[in-house]
Amino acid sequence: MSRADFTSHPTAPADAASVPAFSPQAWILPLEQPIQEAAQGPLAGLSFAVKDNIDVGGLPTTAACPAFAYTPQASATVVRRLLDAGASLHGKTNLDQFACGLSGTRSPHGAVPNALNPLYVSGGSSSGSAYVVATGQVDFALGTDTAGSGRVPAGLNNIVGLKPSRGLISTSGVLPAAQSVDAVSIFARTVPMAWQVLLCALGHDGADPYSRTLELDARPLPPGFRFGVPAPLEFFGNEEASAAFDAAVGRLRAMGGTPVAIDYQPLEQAADLLYGSALVAERYAAIRSFFDAQSQAVIEPVRSIIDAGRQYRGADVFEARTRLQALAQQAAPMWQEIDVLLVPTTPGHCTIAAMQADPVRLNRQLGHYTNFVNLLDYAALSVPSTLDSEGLPHGITLIGPCGSDWRLAELGTRYHAGTGLGLGATSQTPPARASLPLPPSAEPRIKVAVVGAHLSGMPLNSQLTERGGRLLHAARTAPSYRLFALPESRPPKPGLLRVAPDTGARIEVEIWDMPVSQYGSFVALIPAPLGIGTLELEGGQQVQGFLCEAQALTAASDISAWGGWRAYTNSLKTTAA
């Protein structure tokens, strides 16, 4: 069988057992001591890594360019949320420099090998993140996806790549590639694991200009769902990849689906705009000051790609965006004909040697079925599908409109369970089919104001997070409350007492929400003399929140002057020091 340009070099045995568990090219900074900030939570006991264009407080962010490195004081919002959910961070991973590429070979730290056959590319730009998941070094990893970087490495390494709807996960603290279309992506060995991580990571963030609150579609696909298949299909001569996709179409048919041919031309034309129009100027804008001063520190072909963004004027960008909107309008009617779009994650594999000899053309071929997704505001999920005659994996990608993330994950879970494939390059067997929790927007939720030991980072915060609680924002009460430090409480807790209007103080609280179905079990954990009542916030809004019985405060210290429990406890640490 011909593999054309994708496999113009000899192969090596694809025995997963022969693949080293550790590849120095996959890590930029492995941590001897993992970072763990919460002992409990929905992700407790799980390990993860992050692509090195995502900030971790106190660790350098390099984007695989040592001259660019900086050390942030704070972690990216998504990293903080995962740590708060109980996961432990094990390090930062290699990438195509400045997240510019889909091959995993564009790094001064070396090319990251494919987890199943080290002669082949791992895919990029999130190459290291995919490798450490595929080889079982961590349970999940974060990547970023602008043109396919959260899907291509998944497809090439026999793992799951979840590319959520744009704005669902905050990109605050993530070095942009093309900020208006970037998305943080999740690599895992199963769809349920990736979905669990997404539920802990999502949420609006005012620090991200492109963050948004999305109502996710929680309707299951109909039994006779229709799935789109691109016409024409292109595999660049790779007959193994073509056969693998035919098998995928057959599997979806067996699951009750009906294939529908869709015109791929508007999607392909949209994809071409990412690098072939003034839209590439956004990549230059992301690192403009550094690039203008030190462009020679950027490796080829990344330097030439970013440099191309300098030539465009503002009017050119508006013309390109208008062209993109026109193509989006042209593509939109396909969603009236199909429930989900099915594409190959990649049109085949490529050896590292071949990619290094012809980096631009072969990189473009790897992105043939990925580049349009973020530009057109779609959600996507890459799922393992089959191994070919040489043991190389081929994945499929399920694509849907913005907000279809749960529907894709539900179908992807069923599809993956039916493949019988092992997980990544490990000896783990595929799990039985699992049901996925509904997205937060599909279940009624209730707001609750917390004032003490349940605040984020405090000892009892896990009672919220393990029940699907989400931090909405900080707030203050109306000036009708006094705050007391309860004596002999373990862990230490405050009591909030309502007093006559304007005789109290404005007390800092956090507003969380949780599924109504979990609220009863949360309230049951609250010990006397504490309880839940109605709190009035600054501005007049009323929410459920913690209050204390007055008779329990006779021996308690009034700490209202500190304005909140966090400020008070910090003062105790300062005094002790």
Asked if 149 is an active-site residue, the reply is yes
Which of 88, 103, 107, 125 does the annotation list as catalytic?
125
Q: Are the C-beta atoms of residues 152 and 143 closer than 8 Å to each other?
A: no
The Cα 211–Cα 203 span in angstroms is 8
Identity (one letter) of the amino acid at 239? E
The Cα 262–Cα 212 span in angstroms is 30
The two structure tokens encoding residue 191 = 């769809």
Asked if 185 is an active-site residue, the reply is no
As a three-state string, the secondary structure of 16-44 is: HHHCCCCCCCCEEEEEEEEEECCCCCCCC
Which of 149, 185, 242, 404 does the annotation list as catalytic?
149
The two structure tokens encoding residue 347 = 């049109």
Cis peptide before 232 (omega within 30 of 0): yes
Q: Are the C-beta atoms of residues 83 and 41 closer than 8 Å to each other?
A: no
Which of 51, 92, 163, 493 does the annotation list as catalytic?
51
Shortest CA distance to 202 belongs to which of 513, 435, 511? 513
Backbone phi and psi for residue 233, each to the nearest 5 degrees, phi listed first: -85, 145
The Cα 255–Cα 277 span in angstroms is 40
Q: Are the C-beta atoms of residues 86 and 40 closer than 8 Å to each other?
A: yes
Asked if 88 is an active-site residue, the reply is no
Alpha-helix runs per DSSP H in 234-335: 239-254, 265-276, 281-286, 288-294, 302-307, 314-331
The Cα 254–Cα 34 span in angstroms is 44
**Residue 241, CA distances (Å) to 246, 349, 363 in order:** 9, 8, 16
- Residues marked as catalytic: 51, 125, 149
